[in-house]
Amino acid sequence: MITASAEAVASFWAQARSQVPELPIDAPEAWAFGSTVAHADGLLELVLSGIKTGTASAVWDYEAAGDPMPTAGDLSIILDGAAVPRAVIRTTLARVVPFDEVDEAHAHAEGEGDRTLQAWREIHERYWRQHSENPHGFAPDMPVLCERFELVLSAS
Domain boundaries, the chain: 6-154
Low-confidence ranges of the chain (pLDDT < 50): none
Nearest to 2 by CA among 27, 32, 39, 24: 32
Topology given in CATH for the domain delimited by 6-154: Sulfate adenylyltransferase (3.10.400)
What are the tens digits of pLDDT across the range 72-92? 999 999 999 999 999 999 999
Helix (H) or strand (E) holding 76: strand 75-79
- Cα distance between residue 58 and residue 98, in whole Å: 10
Please enumerate in sequence order all residues whose Cβ is within 8 A of that of 11, keeping only pairs 6 or more positions apart, or say none: none
pLDDT score for 68: 93
Please state, as a whole number, how many other Cβ atoms lie within 10 Å of the Cβ of residue 115.
Answer: 15
pLDDT score for 137: 86
pLDDT score for 47: 97
- Cα distance between residue 121 and residue 119, in whole Å: 5
pLDDT score for 79: 97
Contact between 61 and 144 under an 8 Å Cβ cutoff? The reply is no
| pTM exceeding the 0.95 threshold for the entire prediction | no
pLDDT score for 146: 98
